[in-house]
Chains A and B, each alone.
Chain A
Amino acid sequence: EVQLVESGGGLVQPGRSLKLSCAASGFTFSNYGMHWIRQAPTKGLEWVASISPSGGSTYYRDSVKGRFTISRDNAKSTLYLQMDSLRSEDTATYYCATDWRSNWYFDFWGPGTMVTVSS
């Protein structure tokens, strides 16, 4: 059974850092690109970052470039999102998702982890 489980969310002050993890199981993690998508409370969905199967290529939306870093450990089947210089507008539920066919859509999503940026 395919599973994605995010962790690491919580309450953090503006300007501080947080690192999210996404533990994958039930598939060969190293074969597939992975994504982070977020959803602010009662709002729509927003793509955040993506990473190639090897981790050699990464992609970000402009508003997080230079502040967020996506990475992966294929030996641990785990995806990460290092979030630095956090802002109130980063408050959201963060989902990790798979990309089975490498076509830049999201086949399977984890249940998400909530990040609240507030003083």
Chain B
Amino acid sequence: DTVLTQSPALAVSPGERVTISCRASESVSTRMHWYQQKPGQQPKLLIYGASNLESGVPARFSGSGSGTDFTLTIDPVEANDTATYFCQQSWNDPLTFGSGTKLEIK
């Protein structure tokens, strides 16, 4: 299975720029997608196809990368961005998710 590795946690202040990384154990082309999950809620799609912003998602969110290295950027961070962010690949079978990066806003 394709393993997606994410940093476990980050803490930033409002107004700052934050980058969340996701590294794949093998190439996933640009079939990387990002989700936000707030406590007690279901995940929400933010970015699909590595860099495409889902409709209704603020332009503060952006994604980049290809192959094995991907980044989700939030600029500027707001207080309500407190959440866990997951990456997910759809290039290799089975579909897999990263373990999530918990973002704390100081």
Q: Are B48 and A105 in contact (CB under 8 A)?
A: yes
Q: Are B99 and A103 in contact (CB under 8 A)?
A: no
Q: Are A105 and B42 in contact (CB under 8 A)?
A: no
Query: Does B35 lie at the interface of the complex (its beta carbon under 8 Å from any beta carbon of A)?
Result: yes
Which residues of the partner chain A approach B65 to less than 8 Å between Cβ atoms? none
Chain A's nearest CB lies how many Å from the CB of B83? 13
Task: State which of A44, A62, A101, A111 has its C-beta within 8 Å of the C-beta of B86.
Answer: A44
Q: Are A44 and B54 in contact (CB under 8 A)?
A: no
For chain B, the count of residues having a C-beta within 8 Å of the partner chain is: 21
Chain B's nearest CB lies how many Å from the CB of A26? 15
Q: Are A47 and B42 in contact (CB under 8 A)?
A: no
Q: SS class of chain B's interface: helix, strand, loop or mixed? A: loop
Task: State which of A103, A108, A111 has its C-beta within 8 Å of the C-beta of B90.
Answer: A103
> Do A107 and B98 form a contact, CB below 8 Å, given A45-B43, A45-B88, A112-B42?
no
Q: Are B45 and A47 in contact (CB under 8 A)?
A: no
> Do A103 and B49 form a contact, CB below 8 Å, given A45-B86, A109-B43, A109-B44?
yes
19 A-B pairs, CB-CB below 8 angstroms?
A44-B86, A44-B99, A44-B100, A45-B43, A45-B86, A45-B88, A45-B97, A46-B97, A47-B95, A47-B97, A62-B94, A101-B48, A105-B45, A106-B33, A106-B43, A107-B48, A107-B54, A109-B43, A109-B44
Interface residues of B (CB under 8 A from A): 31, 33, 35, 41-45, 48-49, 54, 86, 88, 90, 94-100
A45-B35, A47-B96 given; name 9 further pairs at CB < 8 Å.
A44-B98, A45-B88, A46-B97, A47-B94, A103-B31, A105-B90, A107-B45, A111-B41, A112-B42
